[in-house]
Structure 1
Amino acid sequence: MEEPRRLKQLTQLLHKLGLVEITKVDLKLLDLALTHPTISQVSNYQQLEFMGDAVVRLVAAEVLLETYPEAPVGDYGAVRSVLVSDQTLAEIAESYGIERYILIASSVSHNQGARISLLADTFEAVLGALYLSTYNMSLIRPWLDPILLERAALVLACPARQNYKDALQEWTQSEYKILPSYKVQENQDLTRHQERFVAEVWLKDRQLGQGTGRTKKAAEQAAAKQAFFTVVMQQ
Structure 2
Amino acid sequence: MLIDPRREKQLRTLMERFGLAANAPVDLQLLNLALTHPSIDRHANYEQLEFVGDAVVRLIASDVLLETYPDAPVGEFAAVRSVLVSDRVLAELGAEYGLERYLLTSSNRFASGRGGQQIRLADVFEAVLGAFYRSTMDMSLIRFWFDPILRERSVDVRADPAFYNYKDALQEWTQGKYKKLPQYRVEETPAPAPRQERFYAEVWLNEDRLGAGKGPSKKAAEQAAAKEAFFAVSGHNQGQEQAVGLEVG
TM-score band, normalised by shorter chain: over 0.9
Maintained 8 Å contact 1:36/1:102: yes
Q: 5+ unaligned residues in a row in structure 1: which ranges?
A: none
By how many angstroms is 1:190 displaced? Answer: 5.2
Q: What does residue 51 of structure 1 align with?
A: 52
Maintained 8 Å contact 1:14/1:22: no
Maintained 8 Å contact 1:11/1:22: no
The reply on whether 1:163 has 2:169 as its aligned counterpart is no
Equivalent residue of 1:40, what SS? coil
Q: What does residue 102 of structure 2 align with?
A: 101
Distance in structure 1 (CA, Å) of the matches to 2:193 and 2:50: 37
Q: What does residue 227 of structure 1 align with?
A: 229
Q: What does residue 176 of structure 1 align with?
A: 178
Q: What does residue 68 of structure 2 align with?
A: 67
The reply on whether 1:7 has 2:8 as its aligned counterpart is yes
By how many angstroms is 1:209 displaced? Answer: 0.7
Maintained 8 Å contact 2:110/2:120: no
Q: 5+ unaligned residues in a row in structure 2: which ranges?
A: 242-249
By how many angstroms is 1:95 displaced? Answer: 1.0
Maintained 8 Å contact 1:56/1:84: yes
The reply on whether 1:146 has 2:148 as its aligned counterpart is yes
Distance in structure 2 (CA, Å) of the matches to 1:96 and 1:31: 16
CA 1:58–1:109 in structure 2 vs 1: closer, same or farther (change >3 Å)?
closer
- Provide the alpha-carbon RMSD of the alignment: 1.9
Per mean C-alpha deviation after superposition, the further-off stretch among 33-42 and 178-187 is 178-187
Q: What does residue 33 of structure 1 align with?
A: 34
**Alignment deviations for residues 68-94 of structure 1 (CA, whole Å, 9 cap, x no partner):** 111111111110111111111111101
Distance in structure 1 (CA, Å) of the matches to 2:43 and 2:195: 41
Larger Rg: 2
**Alignment deviations for residues 107-155 of structure 1 (CA, whole Å, 9 cap, x no partner):** 5372593111111111111000000111111110111111111111111
Maintained 8 Å contact 2:50/2:130: yes
Tell me the amino acid that sits aligned with residue 201 of structure 1.
V
Per mean C-alpha deviation after superposition, the further-off stretch among 196-205 and 14-23 is 14-23
Maintained 8 Å contact 1:180/1:203: yes
Equivalent residue of 2:70, what SS? coil
Greater relative CO (CA pairs within 8 A, separation 6+): 1
Distance in structure 2 (CA, Å) of the matches to 1:192 and 1:4: 40
Compute the TM-score of the two structures, normalised by the length of structure 2. Answer: 0.88
Distance in structure 1 (CA, Å) of the matches to 2:106 and 2:59: 32
Tell me the amino acid that sits aligned with residue 181 of structure 1.
Q
Matching of residues 206-217 of structure 1 within 5 Å = 206-217=208-219
Tell me the amino acid that sits aligned with residue 146 of structure 1.
P
Distance in structure 1 (CA, Å) of the matches to 2:196 and 2:58: 32
The reply on whether 1:137 has 2:139 as its aligned counterpart is yes
By how many angstroms is 1:204 displaced? Answer: 2.0
Maintained 8 Å contact 1:198/1:212: yes
Distance in structure 1 (CA, Å) of the matches to 2:51 and 2:116: 18
**Alignment deviations for residues 45-81 of structure 1 (CA, whole Å, 9 cap, x no partner):** 1111111011000100111011111111111111011
**Alignment deviations for residues 151-207 of structure 1 (CA, whole Å, 9 cap, x no partner):** 111111111111000000111111112111112223338568952222111112111
Compute the TM-score of the two structures, normalised by the length of structure 1. Answer: 0.93
Equivalent residue of 2:213, what SS? strand
By how many angstroms is 1:211 displaced? Answer: 1.2
**Alignment deviations for residues 15-72 of structure 1 (CA, whole Å, 9 cap, x no partner):** 1111125431000000000111111111111111111011000100111011111111
Per mean C-alpha deviation after superposition, the further-off stretch among 78-87 and 103-112 is 103-112
